[in-house]
């Protein structure tokens, strides 16, 4: 069986981004009482690629678009958590800036895909 979502560059980029964010969270030195914040970042970032994949597997372009909006929302959530991590000193500016640059590319890709699909409806 072939999974069409694996052909999408935006899905590939989102998977790579998830790996990068998880790698950064792995090296966080945080008090144990904040584990849910770290978990939230990991869940949100994985949700980006997962929603792209799930949407691609849906029956219609409209459904796919809806899942792309959800993926974009998860990306915004991830960036917000990264902002908080940076503001409280959990991640350095170098890691933050790299992740933000990648996030900006992914949001452009998602928005472009949404626009392309909307024109075909």
Q: Does residue 32 surpass a pLDDT of 80?
A: no
What CATH number does residue 54 fall under?
Answer: 1.20.1440.60
Alpha-carbon span 82 to 88, nearest angstrom = 10
> Using one digit for the tens of pLDDT, what is the confidence trace for 100-110?
999 999 999 99
pTM of the predicted structure, to 2 decimals: 0.95
**Which residues are within 8 A (CB) of 40 and not within 5 positions of it... i.e. 6 or more apart?**
77, 81
- Is the pLDDT at 62 greater than 80? The verdict is yes
Q: Cβ(82)–Cβ(96) under 8 Å?
A: yes
Q: Is the confidence at residue 31, as pLDDT, over 80?
A: no
- Domain residues for the domain of 52 are 4-119
Helix axes 93-119, 61-87, angle to 10 degrees: 160
| Number of domains within the chain | 1
How many other C-beta atoms are found inside a 10 Å radius of the C-beta of residue 49? 24
Mean pLDDT throughout 2-13? 96
Query: 121: pLDDT confidence band, cut at 50, 70 and 90?
Result: confident
Burial class (CB in 10 A: 0-12, 13-18, 19+), 40: middle
pLDDT band at 89 (very low <50, low <70, confident <90, very high): very high
Q: Give, in degrees to the nearest 5, the angle at Cα 40 between 47 and 113.
A: 25
Residue 34 has pLDDT above 90, yes or no: no
Only one residue has tokens 């969270």, namely 25
Mean per-residue pLDDT over the chain, rounded: 96
């Amino acid at each position: 069986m072939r999974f069409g979502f694996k052909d999408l560059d935006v899905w590939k980029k989102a998977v790579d981004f998830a790996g990068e964010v998880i790698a950064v969270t792995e090296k966080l030195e945080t008090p144990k009482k904040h584990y849910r914040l770290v978990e939230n970042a990991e869940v949100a970032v994985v949700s980006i690629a997962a929603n792209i994949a799930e949407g691609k597997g849906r029956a219609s372009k409209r459904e796919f678009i809806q899942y792309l909006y959800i993926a974009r929302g998860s990306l915004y959530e991830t960036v917000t958590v990264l902002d908080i991590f940076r503001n409280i000193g959990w991640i350095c500016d170098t890691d933050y800036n790299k992740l933000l640059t990648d996030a900006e590319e992914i949001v452009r890709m998602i928005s472009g895909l949404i626009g392309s699909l909307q024109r075909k409806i």
